[in-house]
Amino acid sequence: MAPPTLYGHPMSPPCRLVRLVAGIIGVDLKVVDLKDSGIDMKSPDMLKKIPQHTIPALEDDGLYLAESRAIVMYLISKYAKDDSLYPKDVNKRVLVDQRLFFDQDLYNRILNVARPKFYGEQKDPSSIDKVNDGLDTLNRMLDGKQWLAGDKITLADYAVANSLSVLEFVPESGIDPTKQPNIKEWLPRVESSHPKYVESLKELREGLKKMAQK
Ligand SMILES: N[C@@H](CCC(=O)N[C@@H](CS)C(=O)NCC(=O)O)C(=O)O
């Protein structure tokens, strides 16, 4: 069977999450870089398959899927050797799900801080406060805990840590998640949990350097 195809871009944070999780669970993706392939996600053909026109988008054996978190849930459920990253037990899984919904909101808050820099939008002074409020929540979620959802690292830890990495695009915002004591201890724990995470961060930082040189 053909490997799952990921339509994406190397610097897109949600695409990075999909590549990271696929790497951790050992799924080989065929990665199609939109920039090089000339594929237009808004062409009638692509919109028929992926109505949402966003990347990452996954094509797997006739299935088309947008939304990074849905994609990684699917990849783990279908291909991972065990369910530790996304437990089958509903009482464990619901905690991961809750954190992933929280992560979607936190990611959007962080994106609102980055948008003026990348899309020339007007700055909203309250956007920084909203991220810091999200970080306060994250810090409380980690109180007395090693991991975000349960007693093992899960998809939730990878998704939230990946969202926080978006702050590296906007160091001038002054937002520093490691000012929060629980986040300060948790973040290096996630980062050193798997060589693929170290690789993912390295790629991000090299990409940021290239962007700064342009
Ligand atoms: N919530 C979505 C966000 C996806 C998203 O906004 N992707 C951006 C690139 S990072 C995109 O495709 N933008 C182009 C568009 O919206 O048409 C996810 O996690 O996959």
Instruction: Return the pLDDT at 62.
Output: 96
Residue 68 near ligand 1, beta carbon < 6 Å: yes
Q: Tell me whether strands 5-8 and 57-60 are parallel, antiparallel or unpaired.
A: antiparallel
Point out the ligand 1 atom lying closest to the alpha carbon of residue 69: 19
What integer is the mean pLDDT of 128-144?
Answer: 98
Point out the ligand 1 atom lying closest to the alpha carbon of residue 55: 12
Q: Rounded to the nearest whole angstrom, what is the distance from the C-alpha of residue 111 to the centroid of ligand 1? A: 11
Look up residue 134 and give its amino acid: G
pLDDT of 7 strictly over 90: yes
CA–CA separation, 107 vs 164, rounded Å?
A: 8
CA–CA separation, 47 vs 45, rounded Å?
A: 6
CA–CA separation, 64 vs 50, rounded Å?
A: 6
Instruction: Return the pLDDT at 61.
Output: 96
What integer is the mean pLDDT of 134-163?
Answer: 98
What integer is the mean pLDDT of 142-160?
Answer: 98
Q: How confident is the model at residue 128 (pLDDT cuts 50, 70, 90)?
A: very high
Q: Rounded to the nearest whole angstrom, what is the distance from the C-alpha of residue 173 to the centroid of ligand 1? A: 22
What integer is the mean pLDDT of 70-76?
Answer: 98
Q: How confident is the model at residue 111 (pLDDT cuts 50, 70, 90)?
A: very high
Residue 115 near ligand 1, beta carbon < 6 Å: no
Identify the CATH class of 90-213: mainly alpha
Q: 5-79 falls under which CATH superfamily?
A: Glutaredoxin (3.40.30.10)
Residue nearest to atom 15 of ligand 1 (CA): 54
CB atoms within 10 A of CB 67: 17
Instruction: Return the pLDDT at 49.
Output: 96
User: Quick check: is 12 catalytic?
Assistant: yes
Residue 39 near ligand 1, beta carbon < 6 Å: no
**Domain map (residue ranges) of the chain:** 5-79, 90-213
Q: Is 83 exposed, middle or buried (0-12, 13-18, 19+ CB in 10 A)?
A: middle
Residue 56 near ligand 1, beta carbon < 6 Å: yes
What integer is the mean pLDDT of 131-150?
Answer: 98
Of 9, 34, 54, 71, the one to substitute when testing ligand 1's pocket (max ligand atoms within 8 A of C-beta) is: 54
Q: How confident is the model at residue 101 (pLDDT cuts 50, 70, 90)?
A: very high
Instruction: Return the pLDDT at 1.
Output: 81
The average confidence (pLDDT) of the chain is: 97
* Residues 10-50: tens digit of each pLDDT: 999 999 999 999 999 999 999 999 989 999 999 999 999 99
Q: How confident is the model at residue 214 (pLDDT cuts 50, 70, 90)?
A: confident
Residue 84 near ligand 1, beta carbon < 6 Å: no
Residue nearest to atom 13 of ligand 1 (CA): 54
What integer is the mean pLDDT of 156-181?
Answer: 97
